[in-house]
Amino acid sequence: TNCLTMTWRLFKNLSEEQQRYEKQLIFEHPAFGKLCQQLLRDARRMTRGDLVFSLHALVHLGVPQNTLLVQTLLRVCQERLNQLDNRCISVLATTLAGMDKDKNVSALQAGLQLLVEQRISSFRDIFVLQNLMKCLGKDAPVFLKKKLEMAVLREIDGLTFPNALRMFLALSSMSYCSLPILNACSKKIQENVQDVPFRQLILILEACHTLQYRNVKLFSALADYVNSTAYLWDKRQIILFLSACETLGFQPRELLDIFTEKVTEDPEFLNLKNLLIVLRVYSRLNYVPTVQKHVFFEILHSCLNKCLSQISNTELLRAVYSLGILGYLPHYALDVLLQKDSKDELTLSDDLKEQNSMMLCCVKTCMELDSPSFTKPAFVLTENLSSVVSLNLRKAQEALIELLGGKNMFRQNVQLPYKYHIDFEIAMDSDRKKVLPIAAADDHPDSRIQRLAFLFAPMSAFCLGTTHPQGKLAMKKRHLNKLGYHVILIQNKKFQEMTNEGAVEFLKRKIYSEDAFSFPEATVQDNN
């Protein structure tokens, strides 16, 4: 056992390349085979500590799981499970967490779960509890997850920084979001953010995504750290971090600016894989660089053109769609895409058909509305879908009735061309002082009439912790502006939390405020 454990300790500190070489030497060494044979013979006579540490070392050295030796040790662990103390249980849990499911592993995990239920009150070490959480995983019953949570909370005052990092991964393994534990871990990580290894940064963000845990302070601290040390990181590492932020809907603005500069200084590293990630991140987070935006998008455009010979149809569609969301039309790639569409080469299996049809429809809408030759129509054909609004818009409807004096002063559930839909529409005079009855505004279409479109969007349509719309919503706002509407975006969740009086006052400010008629959204349309 000492020999195997020491071998593992030396082995784990090597680089991946060194590990591959040393692993071959270890397995081919004649003494290793003899050691394994002796271990197989003595398995049932070993102490409990030697038993679990030997299994741990063999598994982590890469001895195949289906070998007689590993399977024998698993069976002996089952037989002696009740004899294991808490330390041995912790080691065994760590080992099982890294193994594939098979008959013996599943049986041992089931036995371990029963043992944990009986001994839960005796576990006082957060490190041991983390190992148990990883081992039992998402299939553990909810009551046991809650017991483990309570056991951790009893010891939370002794939480160390390394344990805070590991706890994120342990909770993610269990698919169990414990806000008290996560908040305590987040605080500890923020205090020691400069000591977080890069790989751990990514794992933390991925765990937050798995657990649907949204902590703007934590994300900002991580982003600020990467931002302040960006000169240390490889561009591909920054791409990984930005991609993890994108899945959370979090926009690290300063880091995006820094990355934009890195791309403009050295565009050669943008291969197809990196390009697609960059396009996805920038479009989803609706981020247009504050400086050198035209140079940046021309680089992306040029890189896309170079990749056309190796890009798949779906990837080409996603790339053009991403640029379209940002208001940029990559003409050559667009021509290639439309040629494929005309030949029905974009037709895919049913699981991708709907998504691809939506993206292609958006691309064609961008071609028309974002074209420099497009002019605002004098009249937009609209259609009322229904006189009944959905339950989550009932409060807004009642507030508008109280504010404006009746249902005849606004239109609801409005369907526009290009498959766009708005929740409510009102018309105002040219001075923006008076709201006009909808019928009167329709009877006398006049360019001086100001039309307001209200969009009540979910929080997920905005970048986390901000009122900055994400890509699809920002594109819709831009296109409605092109059609002559002044768009008012409202986070519906926050609106629902207002009192009735507060909701009326809020809409009043939105309708009569100068901000309702400004066009602050940055795009790159003028570059086309």
Residue 117 pLDDT > 50, yes or no?
yes
Which pLDDT does position 226 carry in this prediction? 94
Residue with tokens 């741990």: 56
Which pLDDT does position 383 carry in this prediction? 74
* DSSP secondary structure code for residue 269 in this structure: G
C-alpha to C-alpha distance for 331 and 314, rounded to whole angstroms: 17
Q: Which two tokens stand for residue 380?
A: 């937009």
| End-to-end Cα separation, the chain, in angstroms | 69
Residues 6+ apart with CB under 8 A from 39: 4, 54, 69, 73
Residue 190 pLDDT > 90, yes or no?
yes
- Are 336 and 361 within 8 A, CB to CB? no
Helices 198-211 and 216-228 sit at what angle, rounded to 10 degrees?
160
- Are 297 and 336 within 8 A, CB to CB? no
Residue 528 pLDDT > 50, yes or no?
no
| Helix, strand or coil, per DSSP, at residue 390 | coil
Q: What is the mean pLDDT of residues 108-118?
A: 91
Residue 30 pLDDT > 70, yes or no?
yes
- Are 522 and 487 within 8 A, CB to CB? no
- pLDDT category at 350 given cuts 50, 70, 90 is low
Strands 485-491 and 450-457: parallel
- pLDDT category at 527 given cuts 50, 70, 90 is very low
Q: What is the mean pLDDT of residues 217-244?
A: 93
Q: Which two tokens stand for residue 405?
A: 């004096």
- pLDDT category at 520 given cuts 50, 70, 90 is very low
Residue 518 pLDDT > 50, yes or no?
no
Query: To the nearest whole percent, how much of the chain has pLDDT over 70?
Result: 94
Type and span of the H or E element at 441 = helix 438-443
**Chain centroid offset of residue 161 CA:** 24
C-alpha to C-alpha distance for 2 and 506, rounded to whole angstroms: 71
Which pLDDT does position 446 carry in this prediction? 63
Which pLDDT does position 347 carry in this prediction? 63
pLDDT digits (tens, 9 = 90+) for 369-400: 988 887 777 667 777 766 677 888 999 999 99
Which pLDDT does position 445 carry in this prediction? 62
- Are 158 and 184 within 8 A, CB to CB? no
Closest of 289, 240, 299, 224 to residue 260, by C-alpha: 289
Q: What is the pTM of this model?
A: 0.86
Q: What is the mean pLDDT of residues 261-282?
A: 92
